[in-house]
Chains A and B, each alone.
Chain A
């Protein structure tokens, strides 16, 4: 088991004939992903390294049964690409694009909710079930199949923590990069819920950062609903108020959304917060041992 994607996932790459699309389609396949189709308007009938290209998502889904779409589409066309995927019945849409307008994301998330499609991203690295399926741009070599779930608002921090986990022989069930935008698809809550229900996940790492109250709501959820151990890392204690720290969503607004508040909320819910990415391993080991000895 895993969450959201596994070897049965049939992945479609939107924008597969572009440089990024072609490159990452190849990497996803190398990571064990079943890439069944690509799309590029006007280029239907071609193929990219043997992957058939279609003009539309609907045609690709019809012919290949694709159920996961990964978009490599510029920000100003991302809204339309996500709507197209949802209307074609794609179950899970993964958007790595950075810089999509807030209004577009509000409209997309509302439409996807009606269609019943799930979204990972935007402005994130996608997700991976190590050894079985990668939908996005995560560096698969860093990952190891195993039983730790991880959900994060930051791409490189994810790789960094995963690298430490892998070096410590703590493999991962599924790792989700939810993205750094203020309006996004699946968040901590939706992922925690799935990890809790997933037999192959024994513990969860949550990586947060300044801005919004996703971490606070996650803390409340863990407190009320979760039996599996959760450990966390939060970035941005040194961020000045009112400044966007790289990610559109990473901003301390007035006095809300601070790293200190998030740490306090998580700790109050019994979730230990690591002081550095490398320390996640230690905290996770402690929690797993405590759970096994119970």
Chain B
């Protein structure tokens, strides 16, 4: 789960990382008073889970309260890369002397956390690595030993900070930077983050170190023990419904509904549909067993887009027998008003028996394909010949997803 900047900064502050005073606003009228309270100038920053908000005009530095209110009014109406701006952060502006980069992320290659620091922020780290290797630290953190003192010293050395520099609080700047690195590691570990990034980490003209932005991703698998971080409501309504039903579901742009048992199998089916000239409407993995109620829940989610003109059900029976799967499908397609042509592909354990059971049932609008390749060919041809249908309950169809 990705956090918004202000959510990440709340974790930063709780972990002892230096952040600037700020107020979250959801209405333009709140920005002026917030700016006066914080002290001018302020930055007004769009809260969206995507990069590139600066270039899109989602960050404005304002010299007075009226400007802050105007900026908030503009920003709160914006949509940045398809993400609607629901809130803005009004933050005391920083006098930036220079920008650095600090992050801890989960590395597949290292099989654990990786600490990355760069003396230069906002640049391509690979380029810095070639041009000035001493400016970059990239070091795996042993998850059992934790962050070591030498790794913190490496960061301080790479930062190139004057040993005599003192912060406005009268502390050693090098020690403050070291404390920030340690705090970020504690946050990463204790909050089950898979990414905790500070970009930029700035040195101010006053001589302080400040986390000017935050990008934090919390491991979805660990949300059960991060109970104060509630799953937020920004996920797609259908994705939420699918998750509740225990399905792995991702909406796509095409018009062929796809459901199957197994993530790889469904991805593969989507690829084969594209190769055959069609386009999938979704990724939907119903998991093992292919039970009737799960298939029914999947159909409900898939067809609710109103953009589906044909449906492919692809099941590989491993431990589950295909004739059992077939009886479940008959139960579902015999009762639900699917409203679109369905192609079923059954392979694996008792596949022939399964296909025979389905063929015997002779359900209207349901065809049984003898192979995966044939199923894909058939569903693509069928989709091209039929209009998009609406939800199974027979609600009004959107009609704009019709196949061409």
Contacts and interface: CB of A to CB of B under 8 A. Distances in A.
Interface stretch (B63-71, B261-269, B356-364): B261-269
Given A109-B111, A142-B349, A276-B372, A209 B264 contact: yes
23 contacts: A101-B221, A102-B106, A105-B111, A110-B142, A139-B317, A139-B349, A142-B348, A156-B261, A160-B348, A163-B316, A163-B347, A209-B264, A217-B109, A237-B270, A237-B274, A239-B283, A243-B283, A245-B250, A245-B263, A246-B285, A248-B221, A275-B272, A275-B275
B194 interface: yes
B156 interface: no
B404 interface: no
B268 A183 contact: no
A139 B318 CA distance: 5
A182 to B, nearest CB: 5
Contacts of A244: 248, 250
A183 B318 contact: no
Contacts of B192: 101-103
B394 to A, nearest CB: 30
A126 interface: no
Given A180-B263, A276-B372, A235 B142 contact: no
Contacts of A142: 318, 348-349
A238 B264 contact: no
Interface in B26-85: none
A62 interface: no
B263 A278 contact: no
A100 interface: yes
A228 interface: no
Contact of B108 (A139, A159, A212, A278): A212
Contacts of B316: 156, 159-160, 163
A103 B146 CA distance: 12
B85 to A, nearest CB: 18
Given A102-B192, A276-B373, A278-B372, A235 B267 contact: yes
B318 A159 contact: yes
Interface in B235-274: 248, 250, 252, 260-268, 270-274
Interface in B269-307: 270-275, 280, 283, 285
Given A182-B108, A246-B283, A207 B264 contact: yes
Interface string A21-35: 000000100000000
Contacts of B264: 152-158, 180, 207, 209, 235, 246-247
Interface string A91-123: 000000001111111110111000000000000
A156 B106 contact: no
B219 interface: yes
A237 B270 CA distance: 8
Contacts of A277: 268, 372
Interface residues of B, number: 49
Interface of B: 106, 108-109, 111-113, 142-144, 189, 192, 194, 219-222, 224-225, 248, 250, 252, 260-268, 270-275, 280, 283, 285, 316-319, 347-349, 371-373
A246 B144 contact: no
B219 A238 contact: no
Contacts of A157: 262, 264-265, 268
A267 B194 CA distance: 32
A106 B143 contact: yes
B275 A106 contact: no
A154 B263 contact: yes
B280 A238 contact: yes
B221 A160 contact: no
B272 A276 contact: yes
A217 B109 CA distance: 10
A236 interface: yes
B143 A235 contact: no
Nearest to A250: B263
B318 A236 contact: no
A152 B268 CA distance: 13
A180 B189 CA distance: 22
Interface in A227-253: 233, 235-240, 243-250
| 4 A-B pairs with least C-beta separation | A154-B264, A156-B262, A246-B263, A157-B264
Interface string A53-64: 000000000000
A241 B109 CA distance: 20
Nearest to A138: B318
Contacts of B263: 154, 156, 180, 209, 245-247, 250
A135 to B, nearest CB: 15
A141 interface: yes
A160 B219 contact: no
A106 B113 contact: yes
Contacts of A285: none
Query: Which of B109, B220, B271, B317 has the most chain A CB atoms inside 10 A of its CB?
Result: B271
